[in-house]
């Protein structure tokens, strides 16, 4: 396999995850989780979103969270915004980066942000202006890039058109999102092989959901094409309230474990990340989908069953 030596993680659990929790997560708990993620060395955190509190009441405390987190030098603290109002609130809150949201498919965009794609693009132009005046970098995310829960297939030409619009308005970083886990590795490869040479200089991020257990294979497919930025969610939290059937993102600690096992650097302290995941399980009050929290890392060893130790042939006896 031809894989990069290092990848950059963006933790999205406190946004993509906490936004869909049935119970409001206390502001103090949100802050604590962000701080623990920072201490684990996570380089990018999508802390929250500045959206309508009617649409996402779970993140109505976005400004308070941003104001109270302890900022670790070296971590980039971002927030998701759908429109100019969100961009102004995010800039006022002192975000290091703005992550915008729109969908490649019309139906999901209407369900999620109550705008047609053209209306969203017009709003995002305003977002880009606010961000550029404030010198805040923008990463433009595209939901339903690999399929829409309402419409099914999203033609590649359609996705390319949306990317082109975003790049033309100044986006230098693009996130392609598999909102409801419909993508497969060949499709991810085909899509990126098509887009990457057409938009040289763009920094690509893959945002995956593990709805159908294809998230890590999809990440690997993107890595083989040279993508080095990935969103992931602590414990495998996550899901869009406006996308039926959506479930958690690829689990951060599982993905970091997989990459570290292959010798790929992330800069993240995996043991600390696993501890954060345990803390998040306590906060949400249930077990999360992540596997490593249950199984331990692959270097975990167990005591031998009774009587087995004495019967293991010694190396000298075998030679
Ligand atoms: N932050 C806070 N409030 C906002 C806002 C923002 N970014 N954008 C709009 N609002 C407020 C308006 O001020 C208005 O408030 P009022 O009713 O008190 O006057 C209200 O929301 C409605 O504004 P409007 O522009 O008509 O928006 P809408 O009702 O058509 O909703 C969005 C559009 C984009 C604001 C809304 O659908 C939204 O926030 N969606 C986010 C969905 C999301 O986060 N999904 C998960 C991520 S994939
Ligand atoms: Zn998502």
Per-residue pLDDT tens for 214-256? 999 999 999 999 999 999 999 999 988 899 988 999 999 999 9
d(C-alpha 233, C-alpha 235), whole Å: 6
Q: Of how many residues is the chain composed?
A: 319
Q: Is 12 near ligand 1, meaning CB less than 6 Å away?
A: no
Ligand 2 center to 239 CA (angstroms): 6
pLDDT confidence of 319, banded at 50, 70, 90?
A: low
pLDDT confidence of 315, banded at 50, 70, 90?
A: confident
Q: Is 50 near ligand 1, meaning CB less than 6 Å away?
A: yes
Residue 317: the pLDDT is 59
**What pTM did the predictor assign?**
0.97
Q: What is the CA radius of gyration of the chain?
A: 20
Q: Is 88 near ligand 1, meaning CB less than 6 Å away?
A: no
Does the structure show a pLDDT above 70 at 318? no
Helix/strand/coil for 225 = coil
Ligand 1 center to 61 CA (angstroms): 14
Ligand 1 atom at minimum distance from 143 CA: 48
Ligand 2 center to 199 CA (angstroms): 23
Please name which ligand lies nearest the alpha carbon of 239: 2
d(C-alpha 230, C-alpha 74), whole Å: 17
Q: Is 175 near ligand 1, meaning CB less than 6 Å away?
A: no
- What number is the average pLDDT over the span 128-146? 98
Residues annotated as catalytic are 240
Helix/strand/coil for 182 = coil
């Amino acid at each position: 396999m031809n894989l990069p030596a290092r990848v950059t993680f963006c933790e999205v659990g406190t946004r993509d995850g906490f936004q869909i929790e049935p119970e409001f997560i206390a502001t103090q708990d949100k802050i604590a989780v962000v701080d623990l993620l920072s201490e684990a060395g996570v380089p990018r955190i999508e802390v929250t979103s500045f959206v309508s509190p009617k649409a996402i009441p779970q993140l109505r405390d976005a400004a308070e969270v941003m104001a109270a987190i302890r900022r670790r030098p070296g971590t980039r603290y971002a927030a998701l915004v759908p429109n100019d109002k969100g961009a102004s609130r995010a800039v006022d809150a002192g975000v290091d980066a703005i992550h915008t949201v729109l969908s490649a498919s019309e139906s999901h965009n209407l369900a999620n942000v109550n705008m047609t794609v053209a209306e969203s693009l017009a709003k995002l132009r305003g977002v880009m202006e606010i961000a550029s005046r404030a010198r805040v970098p923008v990463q433009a995310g595209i939901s339903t890039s690999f399929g829409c829960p309402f419409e099914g297939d999203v033609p590649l030409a359609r996705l390319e058109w949306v990317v082109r619009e975003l790049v033309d308005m100044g986006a230098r970083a693009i996130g392609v999102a598999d909102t409801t886990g419909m993508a497969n590795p060949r499709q991810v490869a085909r899509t990126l092989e098509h887009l990457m040479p057409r938009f040289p200089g763009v920094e690509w991020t893959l945002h995956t959901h593990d709805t159908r257990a294809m998230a890590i294979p999809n990440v690997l497919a993107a890595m083989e094409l040279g993508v080095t930025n990935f969103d992931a969610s602590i414990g495998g939290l996550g899901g869009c309230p406006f996308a039926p059937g959506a479930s958690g993102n690829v689990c951060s600690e599982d993905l970091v474990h997989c990459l570290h096992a292959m010798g790929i650097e992330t800069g993240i302290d995996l043991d600390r990340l696993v501890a954060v995941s345990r803390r998040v399980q306590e906060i949400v009050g249930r077990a999360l989908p992540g596997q490593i929290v249950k199984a331990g890392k692959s270097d975990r060893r167990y005591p031998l069953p009774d009587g087995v130790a004495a019967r293991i042939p010694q190396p000298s006896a075998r030679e």
